Structure formats: structure tokens, C-alpha cells
Copies of this chain bind each other. A is one copy, B any other.
Amino acid sequence: MAQVLDRQSVAANGETNGFTVVGQSTKRVDALEKVTGRALYAADVSPPGMLWGVFLRSPHPHALIKKIDTSKAEQLPGVLAVITQESLATDQALVVEEEMHATRRVQTLFAQDKVHYEGEKVAAIAATTKELAEEAADLIEVEYEPLQGSGHVLDSIQESLPVINEGTELLDAPADNPWGVTKLNNVAGEHHSVEGDVAAGFAESDRVYTHTFYIPRAHQTYIEPQVTVADVDVGGKVTVWTSTQGPFGVRSNLANSLRLPTNKINVHGMTIGGGFGAKFGGIVDTYAVLLAQKARRPVKMVYSRHEEFVDGRPAPGAHITIKTGVKNDGTIVARQAWALWDTGVGQGGGYATMRTKGVYNVEHFKFDAFDVNTCKPAPGAYRAPGAPQATFAGETQLNIIAEDLGIDPVDIRLKNMREGDQIAFKETLQAVADAAGWADRTSGPNEGWGVAVGEWTNGAGPGTAVVSVHDDGSVHVFSGLMDITGTDTAMAQIAAEVLTVPYDDVTTVRGDTDSAPFATGSGGSVVTFSMGNAVKRAAEDAKQRLLELAAEHLEAPLELLELRGGAVVVKEKPDESVSIAQLAQFALRERGGPVMGKGTFASQPSATTTAAQIGKVEVDPETGKVWIRELYNSLDAGKAINPMASEGQMEGGLVQGFAWGLMEAMHYDRDGHNLNPGLLDYRLPTTADFPDIASVIVEEPTKNGPYGVKGIGEPPIAPGPAALASAVADATGKWIMELPLVPERVYRATHDS
């Protein structure tokens, strides 16, 4: 049964569920170095002799390249490398072959005969200063012949539009598609799924609703832009210092794209200033290495914020039509979705249309989704990829239905939610409803309430960790894990818990890929689940070794020993004990082995968790401005290793979701020009845009997570847009199905009626 905890109750409770360190809101292990500015980020790395690398980019969303002339740039003193797609094939210093690089869609590293989006890379330059490199970029002469572009999926699918990616063929559109076409142009991928029989389902429904939703591209807007410093030694060994969520993934990418043996690449994952899914390599690292190979000097490349917007890998936009059949009592019978995902020059993401099903029992479910090319950069992962888009459609429509049926939106969810082993959807929703006082909620003039839920099942990546006990009793947790969200702190807590030592006696150390065993990348909410298991097993392995050493040292049978308070004690004779420091000394000096435990986690499944959110808004009827007045959220963490950190995840995800609903959007004109490539025009929320957030942690343990942990990074971003739009509808009586809910859009919606 789920247990509901709030922050205060955890903090007040010295021991939680019999645990000493796990479940405590300990100070983050990286707190001091971060607040004092001593943490080292990739841009802080400057090897001797380092050059700066920059890109030359296309100014056109779609154009043919007639000529590229780099000769003037190459002659500029201080310029040590100029690379284009052509030089990759001809330059002996470079080893790349065209088909070998790694992005989601096979495309060349640089544009050669054609550019497909504004900002596409045409050349890379390394010079002794950044200014010189930029000057050299200006000296490269590129002759373009502009083509008609496309900035929207509804344009791209038209037969009249040019093909953006060569080789893409016209597809037959689904017979019942909502887009009024028979053929689909510019489709890069398709995804279809059927459960039951939706036609039969709609036939047996009392009412059937169809709505169309649009959610724009959003950028992950991590604080630290993409950055890599690369060096190549005389033996060809590549070393990179980079901002990444997964150094081992970066190593694999580079090995594939540069055709190097894995052991000739060492990746240092430096302190990371946010990633949210976008930092798994390929955006700058490959290029920095190529420039370093050619220039035979270290090269630093740091994206500008402008480059982030024109050539990042943001979340895809989605145009989703959703049709739902229900009984009059609110029972969902059937649901069908058609979706066009704005995947720029890339592909992938459309399968997330699956999430329109939500956490509900839906007997008949079907979707047809297409990844559609536009003249924009390929998309990437952004926290719970595809979930906010699909959830916006599914959850908003459910609220429309509830309103139409006169059923409370919380009740309609409780009625339809799935139940089962290790899941606590209803308890989680009920927890946030209780926290918000949902049953007794009141609204003043122009105020309204909205509720929505999101879901996620964390992945489970393979990885290994090592826990060492030193001869002074201090403990190391060593792995290749990247800490984005405080996971190092959780790892230290887990090791301290197993080894019964104070939290402060444990340090976590991140190795580069040369030194650390393989660790899963930090994405998909896998870390605390997967690496937490690896660390727990490593600590247990070390504990077992300590017990065996103690049996020898104390001349006592193993089964009578227990580890307690940092010492091994004979159970019935508390006087007979030996500290783990003494055991580590004994091990090292007399038994030859340091006390070092190894733990590996493979790939066992987790269970689905849900995040439920309630917001109260006020809408200014004069301007359409939406103020968020109250925010409540709950999340089933399985087990919160560090409640403060879990709450941080919940609040961060919630803010990103609500902001995507309220203000965040990448705007493009019809050809594909990016209209707001910077933080001046791309609105990000500040603390002034948000009220205090009340968070409730629910704990329904998984079988396979350490202490029952579920991955919690993703789910809190999903419900926000739907909850916000529903609250605005509650306040204004208008359902707005295109995001974001900027004042102009709300004003028009409420004044056009």
C-alpha cells in the first residue's frame, strides 16, 4: 500500500522505514563546489596550445549550394584547420566516412550540395582565437540558390511542397485522416498501433468527441550550452572534455563516427549545467575532434545561445487530433489519435503518440503518427520525450469530456485509472487533490482550476559501480555516472546506508571512460533506479567482504556477525567488535586486497509511476495575461532516497511543463526561419512567474528498484500544459488547444467569441 509523506514529516522523522540515511534530505555532495563556483565545467578546460573552433552555418532554411570556397579562410594567419564535407572525404588527417556519423537520421556532418535548415553546419574552423576563427568563417564564400522551405508540418505534408530530405517518397495517407490529404509528403518515419477495435468502441460509446491540439517546439534551455574540448595525441588517442549526460554514449558515438577503437577514446564528463535529454553527443564533440585531428592541437568549441536555437536538438512540435468515445457515466471506451510530429530534418518521436492513452483502461485504442520533415534542425530528447505533447492532447480532452458530462475531472480519472501491482495512480492523484483541497476548492472572478496527470516508466540501463572502504574507514563510491539532478548524493546515501557509516564519510567520484566501468547514461529517469542498484550491490559486496574479514579477525562464525554503526559486531557480544577502518587495514596489509565491492545492474523492468498536478490560475480579462496562483503536485517516487532532491525534481519538471503551456515556444515563419533564436524572444519563466509549489511524495515501491525506487525525472513535466489549459478554460470558459497560452492567444480566444 502506498504511503503518503510530505516534506515535513520526512524531515521530522530521524529514521524513515527503519533507514538511517536513505530517506533523509541530506546536503548535496556537490553543494559547496557549485555555490562557490569551483565546479569545473567543460568550458573551464583549456589545454596548453588550445585553439578555438567555430562553425559556418547556412543563413537559408532551404537552398542549394553551388560553391564553397575556403581558400581565403585557410590563408588567414592563425587559422589551423578548415573542414567541410568535401574535406572529410579527401583529407588524410581525417578519418570520417560519410555514412559513419551518428545522428538519429543518416545525414552528413556538414551540408554539401544543399542546406535543409537555417543554421545547418557548412564548415568548421579552428584558429588561435575565437575572433580569428569567426573572421575566417566570414571569409568562406558560399554560393546559395534558395528553395521554398517549410516551417510547419501541415505545409510539409502537401504534395506541392518540395522534398526536404532527398530520397523521401510520397506516402498514402491513412483513409480517415484529419488533414484532408490523400498523400503525405516529407514523411521521415511512421508509427502505428492498434489495441481492440476503435470503430466498434466508438459505436458502443454514448458520446464521441474529436479535438485537435497543437504544441510547438520547445528548447531544453539548459543553462550551459553545448561544449566540447578535444585533444588528439600523437598516437591518435582522442581525449574529450564535454558536457554530457552519458560519457560512454559519447565514446560510442565518436568510435562509430570516427572509426576509432573504443580504447583509443577517453571521455571526461565534466560538471554539467543541465541537459534534459539533449546532451548525449554528436552536436559539437565530433567536430571538435575533427578539428583537433586536423590542426594537431587541442580545440575548444562552445555553442552560443543563438546556435543552441538554430542548431540545437529541441523537442519536436506535435499536431495531434484525438477522438474519444465514452459512456455517459464517464467510462472511456475507445480512443484514437492521428499525429504529425515536427521532426525537422530528422526523425523519431512519433511513437510517443502512444501516451495519449494515458494511465487509463482504454479497451479500444489506435494511433497513426508520422514524423514529418520541416526545414528545422532534427529534434532531440527533452525530459519525458513526447509526453508533454501527447499528454496535452489526451488530458485536456479528458477534461473537456468531464466538463461536458458534468463529472468532476478528478473523479473521471479515478474512475478510469488502471490499478495493479507496484502502481499507485489513484493514490497519487488523490494525494494531490487532498493537498490542493480539491473537493472544497473555490474560485474568485476570472479564476479557474485545472488538473492533469502524466506517466512514465523509467528505463533500466546497464552499469557498474565500485565501492571502496579505505583504511581510515572512509568510503568511496566510484562510477562513470553523470550527476545531473543530485544522483551522486543519492549514491552516497545508499552506500552509507548499506555500510552503516555516516553520510559525511562517503564521497562519490566520477571517472572518465578510461577509468570508470561502464555506466548507463543519465536520461530516461534511469539513474537512481539502475545505478542505485549497482551502487547498492557494490556496497553489499564490500559489506560481505568486511563480514568475512571480521570473521577471520574476530575468530567468530560469519553467521553471528553483523555490520552496525561502522563496525562489525558479534551479535550476542557487543563487546567483540572491529571497526571497518581496522578491517580495511587488515585487508590491505595482511590479506592483500583493498576492500572494494563491485556491483552490476543489468536491465530489470521498473513499474509505471504517475505525476499528478493541480493548478489554479487567474486570467486578466483585459489583456489575456494568465497568472498561475496556486500549484500542487504529487508523484509516486517508489522510495524517495533524498526527499529534498525528489521535490526538486518534481518542482523543476512542473515548472518546465507549465512554462511550455504558458510561454515557451520556438517560432518559425512558413519557410522555416527561426523567429526567436535567443532568450530575449524565447520566453523562459522566472521565479516571478510562479507561486510556491506544494509537493507530495507518494511511495509505492517497485520490486526491482533499490529500496523500491522509481525513476522520477521525467513524469513531472508531462501534465503541466494540460493542467494549465484546463485551468484557463475553467477561468474563461474557453478551451484553447494551441499552445502556448500567451496573452495574445488567450485574449483572442476570449474576445472572438
Contacts and interface: CB of A to CB of B under 8 A. Distances in A.
B603 A592 contact: yes
Contacts of A32: 233-235
A609 interface: no
A564 interface: no
Contact of A591 (B263, B474, B602): B602
Contacts of A518: 468, 588, 594, 596
A303 interface: no
Interface string A240-266: 000000000000100100000111101
Interface stretch (A212-220, A506-514, A638-646): A506-514
A510 to B, nearest CB: 9
A184 to B, nearest CB: 34
A594 B515 contact: no
A591 B460 CA distance: 12
Contacts of A261: 470, 472, 474, 505
A505 B263 CA distance: 8
Contacts of A235: 32-33
A462 interface: yes
Contact of A262 (B36, B263, B471, B517): B471
B592 A602 contact: yes
Contacts of A234: 32-33, 36, 38
A517 B263 contact: no
Interface in A33-72: 33, 36, 38, 44, 48
Contact of A263 (B36, B474, B588, B601): B474
A507 B588 contact: no
A689 B33 CA distance: 55
Nearest to A261: B474
Interface residues of A, number: 53
Contact of A509 (B262, B468, B515, B589): B515
A636 B207 CA distance: 93
Interface string A459-470: 000111010101
**Most chain B C-beta atoms within 10 Å of own C-beta, residue among A234, A263, A506:** A263
B262 A470 contact: yes
B594 A464 contact: yes
Given A32-B235, A505-B261, A255 B593 contact: no
A255 to B, nearest CB: 6
Contact of A511 (B44, B474, B511): B511
A693 interface: no
A116 interface: no
A150 B3 CA distance: 79
Contacts of A413: none
Interface string A579-618: 0000000001111111010101111000000000000000
Nearest to A462: B592
A266 B463 CA distance: 24
A478 interface: yes
Given A470-B262, A474-B262, A38 B600 contact: no
A475 interface: yes
Contacts of A476: 263, 514
A516 interface: yes
Nearest to A504: B261
Contacts of A475: 263
Contact of A515 (B48, B463, B511, B589): B511
Given A33-B234, A470-B262, A507-B263, A478 B602 contact: no
B596 A464 contact: yes
Given A235-B32, A592-B600, A515 B478 contact: yes
A233 B38 contact: yes
Nearest to A233: B38
Interface in A490-544: 505-507, 509, 511-512, 514-518
**Most chain B C-beta atoms within 10 Å of own C-beta, residue among A471, A511, A589:** A511
Given A32-B234, A262-B474, A474-B262, A468 B603 contact: no
A260 to B, nearest CB: 9
Given A476-B263, A600-B592, A517 B471 contact: no
Contacts of A596: 464, 517-518, 598, 600
Interface string A317-352: 000000000000000000000000000000000000
Contacts of A48: 44
Contacts of A506: 263
**Most chain B C-beta atoms within 10 Å of own C-beta, residue among A233, A506, A518:** A518
Contact of A594 (B512, B517, B593): B517
Closest 3 CB pairs of A and B: A592-B602, A518-B594, A462-B592
16 contacts: A32-B235, A33-B235, A44-B48, A261-B474, A262-B472, A262-B474, A263-B476, A464-B596, A509-B514, A511-B515, A515-B515, A590-B603, A591-B602, A592-B601, A593-B602, A596-B600
Given A44-B48, A263-B507, 16 more contacts: A32-B234, A261-B470, A262-B472, A263-B474, A462-B592, A462-B594, A463-B592, A509-B514, A509-B515, A517-B596, A518-B594, A591-B602, A592-B600, A593-B602, A594-B600, A596-B598
Interface of A: 32-33, 36, 38, 44, 48, 233-235, 237, 252, 255, 261-264, 266, 462-464, 466, 468, 470-472, 474-476, 478, 505-507, 509, 511-512, 514-518, 588-594, 596, 598, 600-603
